[in-house]
Amino acid sequence: MNRIYTSADQLDFKIPDLPSLPAPGRVLMVKPTYFDVEYVINPHMKEHVGAVDKIQAANEWEHLVDGFEELGLTVDILDGVKGLPDMVFCANQSLPYVDAEGNRKAVMSIMRAPQRRGEVPLIEEWYRQIGYEVLHLNPEKTKSFEGMGDGQWHFKRRLLWGGYGYRSSLDAYEQVSALLDVPVVVLKLVNEKFYHLDTCMCMLNENSVLIYPDAFTEESLELIHALFDTVIEATQYEAEKLFAANATCPDGKNVLIQQGCTDVNKKLRDAGFSVHEFSTYEFIKSGGSVFCMKLLYW
């Protein structure tokens, strides 16, 4: 049975008769002690090598921790590691899941950039300590997969959305689908400034999503419109400069987003969401914002 969907005409699946995917109640964050822009692996980093204000970054990060706690989420914190400046983007090293029987599992990433590969075993070690089953992709059958940077769970559904083109390879999703026994709707990314799915798509709730449309092919946009009733679109300015689509909505109601996304925030409020703004300017210098500064897990 084909469980990888690349175009809307293939969407034949029935919603399986399984308990729905619970909303995650926990958040992992990695301290930004060693965060900086030390190399260039995405276009946003180009002008910012060595230009992170460490004190400002620490403040922004602390506020975000508070923001998650205020929503009632439990925040687990790992120390940063010297020489791994991007480890703060802890959405990228893995994809966690809880199956219908309540077993917690994580698929570990194969990072595209050699500079980031050392982060993965450290996150794997953390998973082992908290009792997750750790799963690996076969590196001979896929080049790369960057966890929740490119994989997003459909809110409440056992359905994965997978981005590919820059960081994750399309063939990775066949393995992810088999390892976790879930269907995957794959979306092709075509604008290098939006190199991860989480830079151009933010799951809001079962029926709503926030996207930056120019980051996708027509076929991918059709898939998005086929599976969501409400598709909120970010403007180029807010998506590219403010990482509007790198927001996160852990509970289907509250959206945490970089501050200043005036147009998107109005659309979100009109659609019934509560908006909480955070400054993540120091992290945007490296190509990430609210979504990828944390890992939601069960």
Chain contacts with ligand ARG (rule: CB under 6 A): 41-42, 45, 86, 89, 91-92, 116, 149, 196, 198-199, 286-288, 292
| Residue 218 identity | E
Burial track 241-279 (b if 16+ CB lie within 10 A, e otherwise): ebbbbbbbbbebebbbbbebbebbbebbeeeebebbbbb
Q: Are 165 and 32 in contact (CB under 8 A)?
A: no
Is 102 or 114 the residue whose CB approaches ligand ARG more closely? 114
- Which position among 44, 154, 196, 276 bears the catalytic label? 196
* In the complex, minimum distance from the CB of residue 286 to ligand ARG, in angstroms, rounded to a whole number: 4
* In the complex, minimum distance from the CB of residue 87 to ligand ARG, in angstroms, rounded to a whole number: 10
* In the complex, minimum distance from the CB of residue 82 to ligand ARG, in angstroms, rounded to a whole number: 17
Is 192 or 218 the residue whose CB approaches ligand ARG more closely? 192
Shortest Cβ contact with ligand ARG: which residue? 288
How many Å apart are CA 286 and CA 270, to the nearest integer? 31
* In the complex, minimum distance from the CB of residue 89 to ligand ARG, in angstroms, rounded to a whole number: 4
Is 72 or 167 the residue whose CB approaches ligand ARG more closely? 167
Is 90 labeled as catalytic in the residue annotation?
Answer: no
* Long-range contacts of 189-192, Cβ-Cβ distance < 8 Å, separation of 24 or more: 189/163, 189/164, 189/165, 189/215, 189/216, 190/165, 190/215, 190/216, 190/217, 191/215, 192/42, 192/43, 192/166
Measured at the CA of 6, the angle between CA 248 and CA 103, to 5 degrees, comes to 55
Is 92 or 144 the residue whose CB approaches ligand ARG more closely? 92
* In the complex, minimum distance from the CB of residue 159 to ligand ARG, in angstroms, rounded to a whole number: 20
Is 261 labeled as catalytic in the residue annotation?
Answer: no
Is 97 or 291 the residue whose CB approaches ligand ARG more closely? 291
Measured at the CA of 190, the angle between CA 184 and CA 191, to 5 degrees, comes to 125
Determine the straight-line distance between the first and last CA of the chain, rounded to whole angstroms.
Answer: 29
User: Which residue shows structure tokens 């293939």?
Assistant: 10
Active site residues per annotation: 196, 292
